[in-house]
A and B are shown apart, each in its own frame.
Chain A
Amino acid sequence: QKEVEQDPGPLSVPEGAIVSLNCTYSNSAFQYFMWYRQYSRKGPELLMYTYSSGNKEDGRFTAQVDKSSKYISLFIRDSQPSDSATYLCAIGSGGGNKLTFGTGTQLKVEL
C-alpha cells in the first residue's frame, strides 16, 4: 500500500463548478498536510497547509483534514479555467523534513 493515495484523474469540470480533490494516507504519524498546484512544465506552488483536523479556508480554496479517517481534501469554489493544473497533496511528519507526495490529480476547468 502506498503511503499516500491520490486519484490521478483527469478531472474535467465546467467553469464555476465546485471541485473536490482528495487524498488518503496510511501513516498515522503524519501531522502536516499541504496542497500544491503545478502547472505544466513548472515547479509546484504551495496553496494550502494545515496541521490539524478540520477546515482551513483561503479565498476560493478550502483544505479539510480528517485524521481519524486519514483523509484530506481540497475544495475549489467557483472554479476558473486558470485553475486548470495538477494538484498534489503532500504530507509530512513532525520532526522530519521529508514530504510524501501523492501522484497528483490533473484538473481541467472548461469554459
Chain B
Amino acid sequence: GAVVSQHPSRVICKSGTSVKIECRSLDFQATTMFWYRQFPKKSLMLMATSNEGSKATYEQGVEKDKFLINHASLTLSTLTVTSAHPEDSSFYICSAKAPGGPYNEQFFGPGTRLTVL
C-alpha cells in the first residue's frame, strides 16, 4: 500500500511556542491530505482538508489561525500549531488520498504526539 510518513513522531514544547508537523506521501502524489486529531480512546476528529496549491478547508470549530496548514507540493503538507497551550496536547495524524480509484481511500501517517507543558 501507499506509504505516508510524519515528522516528528513525538514533540514536547513549552506553552506559547509554535510546533510544525510534516506529512509526506512517500511513493505517490497526493493532491489532497487530511489532518486529524485524536484524543485518548476517542475517534479521529477531522480538523482540515489540505489541497495542494490552495487554501485548506477547516472543519467547524477548528481555528485556522491557530492550526496553520500548508500544502506546498504534491507530497508534503505541514501543520503548524501556533502559540501552543496544554489543551493542544494530543495525537495528530495526517492522511493522504490515493490518486485514482472510486473510493475515498486514505492512507494514514504514524501520527505525532504533541505534549505542551
Contacts and interface: CB of A to CB of B under 8 A. Distances in A.
B108 interface: yes
Nearest to A91: B104
B90 interface: no
Interface in B38-53: 41-44, 46, 49
B97 A34 contact: no
Size range of the chain B interface in the assembly: 20 to 34
A7 interface: no
A51 B101 CA distance: 12
B8 interface: no
Given A41-B113, A51-B102, A97-B49, A46 B107 contact: yes
A7 B88 CA distance: 27
A49 B103 contact: yes
Given A88-B43, A106-B41, A43 B108 contact: yes
Interface string A84-111: 0000100010001111011110100000
Nearest to B45: A101
B14 to A, nearest CB: 23
Interface of A: 6, 8, 32, 34, 36, 41-46, 49, 51, 88, 92, 96-99, 101-104, 106
15 contacts: A32-B103, A34-B103, A34-B104, A43-B4, A43-B6, A43-B93, A44-B93, A46-B106, A49-B103, A51-B103, A92-B104, A96-B104, A98-B34, A98-B46, A106-B41
Interface of B: 1, 4, 6, 32, 34, 41-44, 46, 49, 91, 93, 95, 97, 102-111, 113
